[in-house]
Each structure stands twice: as C-alpha cells, then as structure tokens.
Amino acid sequence: MDKLVIEGGHRLKGTIPISGSKNGSLAIMPATLLASGVYTLHNTPNLRDVWTMSRLLGSMGVHCDLNGDDLFIDSSNITSQEAPYELVKKMRASFYVLGPLLSRYGYAKVSLPGGCAWGPRPVDLHLKGLEKLGAKIELDNGYVIAKADRLHGARFHFDVSSVGATGNLLMAAVLAKGNTILTNAATEPEITALARMLVKMGAKIENIGTNQLEIEGVDELKPVDETTIPDRIEAATYLIAGAMTKGKIELTNTNPYHLSAIIAKLEETGCQIDVNSSNISLEMDQAPIPVDITTNIYPGIPTDIQAQWMSYMLCSENGSSKITETIYTDRFKHVPELARLGAQIEILDSTAIINGSSLKGATVMSSDLRASASLVLSALVASGKTEVLRVYHLDRGYQGIEMKLNAVGANIKRVKTDTI
C-alpha cells in the first residue's frame, strides 16, 4: 500500500493538465458491448477504475489495451455475459454492463454492487427500468440474472435522478424494439457524452442533454472512435487546491461549461477566475469568504466535490459555513479524519457546519476516493507534515495527483509501505 507524505505551506503556481473523465470513461467503456468491433477511446485517464473496468470487460472476452491515453477496445469476440462479484465489489460502475449485455445478448448475470463507505447504494431504479423494457429479472445468490428475448420500448420515470440507472437504461433502449421515453433522466455531462457516442454508433436519441430522453430502438450499432470528456471533478479539486493555497494556477484541457456552479461559488469566496474554451485560470490572495453549498444533481454543485469544498472552507478566517449533502445519506466519512488535523466541524443529519480552523499535520486514513482528496487538500495547507494512508483510494480517480501538484509547487512524496 502506498502513502503520501505531504509538507504543507506551499502556494501552488503554474499549469495543471486535466485528464479525461473517470466517470466519462466508465460510462462509455460498457457501450463497446453493444456492437462487435474495434474502438479507440481517446483521452482515457490511466486510473485504477479504468483498469478494473478493462479487467471486467476482459473477463467477457473484450480485449482492452491502454496506450498512453488511447484505450483500444476490441469487442469482436464476446465469450461471456457475466460480471463476477470479485470485480463488481471493487467498483459499483461495473453494474453499467447490465443494460448493454441484456439489450445485445438477451441475457446478463451481474453481481449486485455492495454498499460503500457512505451508505447503501441501491440499484432499484436500474432493475425497475429494465423490467419496464421487458426484462425478466431474478435475484439469485447476490447476482442479478436478467433475460429478454428482445427488449421493447417503454416510458420510464426515474423517481430519483440517477446517473448509473440512466446510463444502463439508455444502453438497453438503443437496441430495444420500438420507442422509449426516459423522464427525470440524469443530465450529467458523462451521460450526455454517452448518448452522443451511442448516436455516433447509429443509435437514435432525441433531446440529448435534457432530462427527457427519447430513444427509437435500432437493430444494430457499429463500433466508433470517441474522445472522453475532461474530468470535471478532477478540475474542481485542483481549482480548490489553488484557492486554498492562495495560489495562481491554470487548468488546461478542461470544459469550463461543466464547472459553472463551482466556478460561481469559488468567485463568491473571493477567487479571481478567467475561462476560455478549454482553460480555467484561478488566482486567490486571501482566506476564503465562507460560502454555504448544497449538493445537487447537474448542473448544481456535484456531491463529488463536497469533501473538497469542506477542506476549502476550513481555511476561512471569518465565520463558519454550511454544507448540505442531498444526494447521499452519509457522505461525511472524511470529517473524523479532517478532525485529526484540527478541523472544527459539526455534523447535524445531512448538514455539516465548518468553522475556520488552523490545521496541523498528522497521519490520516483515506476512506473513499473523494474523502482522500479532501485529506490531500487539507494537508497542502496544514503546518508540518501529513501522511495520507491507503492512497489506492486516490489512485482510483486522480491520475498522477502528486506529480501534477508537485509540478506547481507542492511537496508530496509517495512512499511504499507494507502496512495498510
């Protein structure tokens, strides 16, 4: 297991290149099950989750080869429609293979994803939607077994906006017989990008980018090359890092449009931000004005930057701020670890009150991807040295985080340890 040893107190100055989107890649990789052939997915990030998805597809006979940021996929010879527990338990997004397997082969056996650090992660909307499209669903020994001679079009309304369920049902509907209308569908950029790739493959999808998707099923699709969208959560994380250290950074290869909500909030805290079509520059010369946020579905403040925002608000020097988490029931696992650095945070149900705190380095433990990012951010401003353990959580979603941050002035060392 690796740990990061971080010396706090360095202002970040310089340029940070943003990688392709983890969640964008995890949405489009399963789409290669829908049409046999060879695909190249450009701008693919070199991340543990991409390796896990590649291994999962590999277990079904799909050949995946990441060369730089080009992911070559050959799905010409699918040998299995089953996703084993050993792989699905590592990454919930493995569940996204259910829809494409079912619509292409009429059969799928996919392990139910477990919970995660911040509570249950149900898949009821995925299953209800597939049943509406004509699937017969059984649960057996922790597996979902789904069968359908051929899925048929239907109308389905998502009780809750769900990124994964929208992706699964989109990939099911494109090969179903007839028309499907999905209402209250997720509009996250990763879903819009998936829909655009499906259209390039020959799918017929209307109202892309809205929460009412209309799909006219086709008989077959064809393989394509695609470019993964930039990672908006990685970009938001580094903007916050620049703001916390009172630095001056420029992010390249971003899509500023995907970050409108967080850019507006950063400006409210006193940041100077300029954007052009693919770059975002940020300068900050003061402690942040405390600003409350409430997480929401896109285009609101993403739940995936909630922990990072908490670290940022710890830097405020006049007053406290509030974070309200509306997407998950208990996504505050990072609070006790931040408290080890001296953070003064109170939790009341789904709300956290953050008081400005002077942080002192300590040893802290990552519990999940974005929680570990918040620990790294706080370590950048804590006095002295901080050790962040279980860095494999970080490696799931941040390509070369210590290299990118050291290149703009941070002092981070990755150390191999034989303890966990």
Can residue 162 be called a binding residue for ligand EPZ (CB under 6 A)? yes
Closer CB to ligand EPZ, 11 or 396, in the complex: 396
Can residue 304 be called a binding residue for ligand EPZ (CB under 6 A)? yes
Please tell me the distance from the alpha carbon of residue 182 to that of residue 56, in angstroms, as a whole number.
28
Q: How many CB atoms lie within 10 A of CB 75?
A: 23
Pairing label, strands 280-283, 248-252: antiparallel
Q: By CB neighbour count within 10 A (0-12 exposed, 13-18 middle, 19+ buried), where does 416 fall?
A: exposed
Can residue 109 be called a binding residue for ligand EPZ (CB under 6 A)? no
Can residue 164 be called a binding residue for ligand EPZ (CB under 6 A)? yes
Can residue 122 be called a binding residue for ligand EPZ (CB under 6 A)? yes
**Positions 323 through 342 that interact with ligand EPZ (CB under 6 A):** 327-328
DSSP string, 96-130: GGHHHHHHHHSEEEEEPP--BTTB----HHHHHHH
* Residues contacting ligand EPZ: total by CB under 6 A: 25
Please indicate whether residue 116 is annotated as part of the active site. yes
Can residue 165 be called a binding residue for ligand EPZ (CB under 6 A)? yes
Can residue 200 be called a binding residue for ligand EPZ (CB under 6 A)? no
Please tell me the distance from the alpha carbon of residue 168 to that of residue 164, in angstroms, as a whole number.
6
Closer CB to ligand EPZ, 81 or 94, in the complex: 94
Among 13, 63, 121, 340, binds ligand EPZ (CB under 6 A): 121
Q: Applying CB under 6 A, which part among 58-66, 124-132, 149-157, 222-230 lies near ligand EPZ? A: 124-132
DSSP string, 350-379: TEEEEE----B--EEE--SHHHHHHHHHHH
Residue nearest to ligand EPZ (CB): 164
DSSP string, 207-218: STTSSEEEEE--
Among 12, 18, 26, 185, binds ligand EPZ (CB under 6 A): 26
CB 297 within 8 Å of CB 161: yes
Phi, psi of 343 (to 5 degrees): -70, 140
Can residue 370 be called a binding residue for ligand EPZ (CB under 6 A)? yes
Closer CB to ligand EPZ, 167 or 361, in the complex: 167
Among 369, 377, 389, 410, binds ligand EPZ (CB under 6 A): 369
Name which of 192, 187, 194, 193 is nearest 172 in CA terms.
194
Can residue 157 be called a binding residue for ligand EPZ (CB under 6 A)? no
The residues that are catalytic are 116
Residue numbers of the site for ligand EPZ (CB under 6 A)? 22-23, 26, 92-93, 121-126, 160, 162-165, 186, 190, 303-304, 327-328, 369-370, 397
